[in-house]
Amino acid sequence: MSRQSKDIMVIGFALFAMFLGAGNLIFPPFLGFQSGDGWIFSAAGFLVSGVGLSILGILAVTTAGGKTEALAEKVSPLFATLLTTTIILTIGPLVAIPRTAATAYELGILSLFPQVPAILSSLLFFAVTLWLVINPTNVIDKLGKVLTPVMLFLLLGIIIKGIFFPSGAPTSSTMQAPFADGFLLGYQTMDALASVIFAGTIVTAVKARGYQEQEVISITSKAGCVAGIALASIYGGLILLGANAMNILPADASRSDVLTSVTHMSMGEIGVASMAIVVILACLTTAVGLTTTVGHYFQHLSRGRLPYRWLVTATVIFSALLANAGIDRIVQFAGPILDILYPVVIVLIILNLLERWVSLEDAYVGSVVGVLSLRLLDILLLLGISHRKVEGWLEMVPFSEYGLAWLLPAFFGGVLSWSWKRVWHLIPKER
């Protein structure tokens, strides 16, 4: 194997490890459980938004220069900063970090020590997180390098055994649009948002190996394919196992219950215990990584005025407060935030990638305004703030029944913005 091929594999599996957070494991089996015999279509939708967009996000930031802000600077530098800050907060103390603690408790601690209360688990989890973040050590890195292959081995064992020796079979589901539902649930992985943050780390790692600009893009693309195939295999397998459990578990089973039950049906009590330990440690490494990212970002944004220790301490305290809400409530809370962020990031990723062939700089503002205007109306309506008459108008927008009403406003907003700039340049200016 050539040196370049080895680097592609190493970086690809590093990407896989970065995306495969323990929190993400709760969504695929639950999606399969809900979709039943439509699991193939829901899996396709989930893989597009949960895996495909993540890899495209890495590639888009790479081609844009390797910095997260570069993805949105063509809208405006201020917008780029606001978007990056919002993404950091979302994959940090608002959603992702609290979810790691909630996942560690519901999938780990409860399986091993059922009597431990959630608040005690959360306090211990974040106390250890803060200690590791404030006192940098390579222990957590070594732990992560061990956990990824262990988790992968355990998951593959559960999936392979579950496929060849299924405990049940998919039955009919009431899900009306499995592809769209799978696509929208993929938002909850937050991997596409994380990808535009991770991209800088990946670009730095590739350049550190001595590769030039065009080689960086090529290697990143191929490494992304490696990570994508690995993620798709895990997610797809878990969705199938969830579908097989549809006629076994009660209809009101929670996300945590489905994953725990699937693991138990495949590998028994030993599998559940092993999964619990891996999930606890994997959630801890994820929390440490995300908390460190939040601290460094806001320290840099404030130009050093906000000390790193203060920032990570505040992040941990805020996350601990939210973590006690539980996984299901955190997911519910995250929904409106992700419904706004994801379409914006998707549009920016697509525009940046298309710019390799055609200049679309003038389309950015219109596309983003088109997306935000519709998504904000949706959110206001959901919160009961907007007038109910707006609901009838929104339902007339194409693809609204699939939660993708922003597609056409983004397209036409971009076309209008792009056209207006060209017409404006043709108008004679007074001297």
DSSP structure string for 30-49: HHHHHHGGGHHHHHHHHHII
Average pLDDT over residues 133-143: 69
The pLDDT of residue 169: 79
What is the spatial distance between Cα 186 and Cα 192, in angstroms, rounded to a whole number? 9
What is the spatial distance between Cα 344 and Cα 339, in angstroms, rounded to a whole number? 9
The pLDDT of residue 86: 92
pLDDT band at 388 (very low <50, low <70, confident <90, very high): low
> pTM of this prediction?
0.85
Average pLDDT over residues 229-256: 88
Structural domains in the chain? Answer: 3-356 (1.20.1740.10), 359-431 (no CATH)
| Ranges 17-26, 137-146, 171-180, 340-349, most confident | 340-349
What is the spatial distance between Cα 378 and Cα 381, in angstroms, rounded to a whole number? 5
- 424 vs 60, more confident: 60
pLDDT band at 130 (very low <50, low <70, confident <90, very high): very high
Question: In one letter, which amino acid is 117?
Answer: P
Handedness of CA 54, 293, 153, 263 (dihedral sign): negative
The pLDDT of residue 346: 92
pLDDT of 392 higher than 70: no
Average pLDDT over residues 190-203: 85
- 100 vs 167, more confident: 100
Report CA Rg, the chain.
22
The pLDDT of residue 177: 85
What is the spatial distance between Cα 81 and Cα 79, in angstroms, rounded to a whole number? 5
Q: What's the mean per-residue pLDDT of the chain?
A: 84
What is the spatial distance between Cα 335 and Cα 52, in angstroms, rounded to a whole number? 20
Q: Helix or strand or coil: residue 137?
A: coil
pLDDT of 27 higher than 60: yes
The tens digit of pLDDT for each residue in 360-385 reads 777 888 888 888 887 776 666 655 65
Query: Which of 92-106, 201-215, 270-284, 412-426 has the lowest average pLDDT?
Result: 412-426
pLDDT band at 317 (very low <50, low <70, confident <90, very high): very high
What is the spatial distance between Cα 200 and Cα 358, in angstroms, rounded to a whole number? 24
Q: What's the token pair of residue 407?
A: 């597609």
Average pLDDT over residues 386-413: 71
